[in-house]
Structure 1
Amino acid sequence: MHTIWKGTISFGLVNIPIKLHAATEDKDIKLRSLHKKCHSPIQYEKICPVCGEEVEAGDIVKGYEITKGKFVVLEQDKLEDLRKTTEEKAVEIMDFIDMREIDPIYFNRSYYMSPNEGGVKAYGLLRKALTESKKVGLARIVMRSKEQLAVIRVFENTLLMETIHYPDEVRNSADVPNVPADDEVSKKEIETAILLIDQLTTSFEPEKYTDEYRSSLMELIESKRTGKDLVTAKVKVPENNVTDLMAALQASIDRTQPAKKMAKRTKKPAAKTKAKEA
């Protein structure tokens, strides 16, 4: 499993060398955008809307928009210094809490944690302590130049870190439009709804749930792999330098032809003068 981060977990005076591995993966089927005419993949270039020029990566700077159209430009070296100051390569457990106190809306991404060299015993200690106490660790970590809150818990005998949103990153539910203030339903309707819920209640078995759209899309793709529905993107023909050279030579010839004609016309009167003298 690919390692995406290395560092340590610290709680109290205990430090555990660990590695992070992505616990989930995106299974979305990626569809390319093609030119309908020739089925070539469409390219997306970074073009300056004012200069009309394609912008290289080295010509791009970071900026924060203060007001519409006005930016504060931040130098890359200053951003790097700030990142190094805050990024200590450590997952610092600040508190231990009950997992049930965290609403699922706060959860973001999940990462498996494995012990790095010399951290096996301490890794097992934290895992056992979390299991016995039925608590989770609330930690702070800097990843990808962003300080994040995270929950460290045990998942199937493996330590799992789940990044969570800060409170100001969760939008206020009171701002959701058209939410009724009161439930205008009868007692009979509530009882019927609860009865239906009871009948559909079961234990969670994630294996029985599948992405039906993705499966159907893959079946459609497989059915089109052979036959007339399979298209080939056209390849851009490189410019022929020989043709360009010939065109340039021909243009040069055409440009010199009027000068030659003028030179011939100029020489004829001189020949007549010599004949008279003779």
Structure 2
Amino acid sequence: MHTMWKGTISFGLVNIPVKLHAATENKDIKLRNLHQECKTPLKYERTCPVCDKDVDNEEIVKAYEYAKNKFVVLDKEDLENLKKENEDKAVEIMDFVKLEEIDPIYFERSYFISPNEGGTKAYALLRRTLQDTGKIGVAKIIIRSKEQLAIMRVYENTLLMETIHFPDEVRDVAEVPNVPEEAELGEKELSTAKTLVDQLTAEFDAQKYKDEYRESLLDLIEAKKNDEEVTTAKPQPTPDNVTDLMEALEKSLEKTKTKKTTTKKKTTSQKKSSQKKTSGKETGKTASKKTS
């Protein structure tokens, strides 16, 4: 199992060297987008709409948009220094609480915890302590440069860490629209609803719930593959230096023509303007002579 974090967990004076491993995986079936005409996978490129060109990774900077089209640019050095300040890999359990005191809305992602070298006994001690007291530990941990609130509990025979949302990350329920106030309900309706709940009540067995859509999609893909309803993307054309050179020359020639035309128009316009001024002066002189 892939290790995604190494560090220590401490409670009191007990330090446990541990490793974190992702406890869950996303099994969504990823579908590619193809060009309908030639069945070629589409490319998604980073382009700048103002400069009208592709942008390399080296040219990209991070920024925070604090208002519409107004940004605070954060340099790599700023982010690196911030990261170094928070690089402490020691996780201290701050409190022990009961699991039922935390609403499920706070839970985010789960990680299995395994002991690192020399941490087996301390790991077993924390596991047994949590089991006997029926408590879970609350701590903070930094994963991928982000500070997370987390809880530690026992899952089967293994310590489990679950990252949870900070309180200000959970939206206010008062913002949910169209929630009805307490409504008048008939006794018969309520009694029938409760009877239905009783009839459907069972012990939770995770194994009986399946992603039927994913299974159906996999069956469909397999059936099409067996019927040879498949397509192979055409090889992408290799750039031809001669063609590229010709294109570049033609574009340069077109640009030069446009420039010459623009310059010629400006010159003609300037000449006409100059002629008008000269004509105006000569008209003025003639008028002056006639007056005298």
Change (3 A) 1:78 1:186: same
Partner of 2:239 in structure 1?
Answer: 239
Give the fraction of aligned pairs with identical amino acids, expressed as a percent: 61
- Give the length in aligned residue pairs: 248
Q: Which moved more, 1:234-243 or 1:47-56?
A: 234-243
Q: For residues 100 and 28 of structure 2, what CA distance do their matches in structure 1 show?
A: 31
Residue by residue over 1:184-216, the C-alpha shift from the partner in whole angstroms, topping out at 9 and shown as x without a partner, is: 321111111111001100001111111000000
**Secondary structure of the residue that 2:50 maps to in structure 1?**
coil
**Secondary structure of the residue that 2:152 maps to in structure 1?**
strand
Superposition pairs of residues 171-250 of structure 1, within 5 angstroms: 171-227=171-227, 229-241=229-241
* C-alpha deviation, 1:228, in angstroms: 5.2
Q: For residues 49 and 243 of structure 1, what CA distance do their matches in structure 2 show?
A: 26
Superposition pairs of residues 1-278 of structure 1, within 5 angstroms: 1-227=1-227, 229-241=229-241
* Unmatched 5+ stretches in structure 2: 251-292
Q: For residues 102 and 226 of structure 1, what CA distance do their matches in structure 2 show?
A: 49
* C-alpha deviation, 1:125, in angstroms: 0.3
* C-alpha deviation, 1:243, in angstroms: 7.1
Q: For residues 49 and 240 of structure 2, what CA distance do their matches in structure 1 show?
A: 31
Q: For residues 220 and 105 of structure 1, what CA distance do their matches in structure 2 show?
A: 35
**Secondary structure of the residue that 1:224 maps to in structure 2?**
helix
Change (3 A) 1:33 1:244: closer
* C-alpha deviation, 1:227, in angstroms: 3.6
Residue by residue over 1:154-193, the C-alpha shift from the partner in whole angstroms, topping out at 9 and shown as x without a partner, is: 0011000000000110011111111101123211111111
**CA-based RMSD:** 1.7
Residue by residue over 1:244-276, the C-alpha shift from the partner in whole angstroms, topping out at 9 and shown as x without a partner, is: 79x89xx9xxxxxxxxxxxxxxxxxxxxxxxxx
Deviant stretches of 4+, over 6 Å: 242-245
User: TM-score, normalised on structure 2?
Assistant: 0.82
**Secondary structure of the residue that 1:9 maps to in structure 2?**
strand
Residue by residue over 1:215-262, the C-alpha shift from the partner in whole angstroms, topping out at 9 and shown as x without a partner, is: 0000000011134521111111213457779x89xx9xxxxxxxxxxx
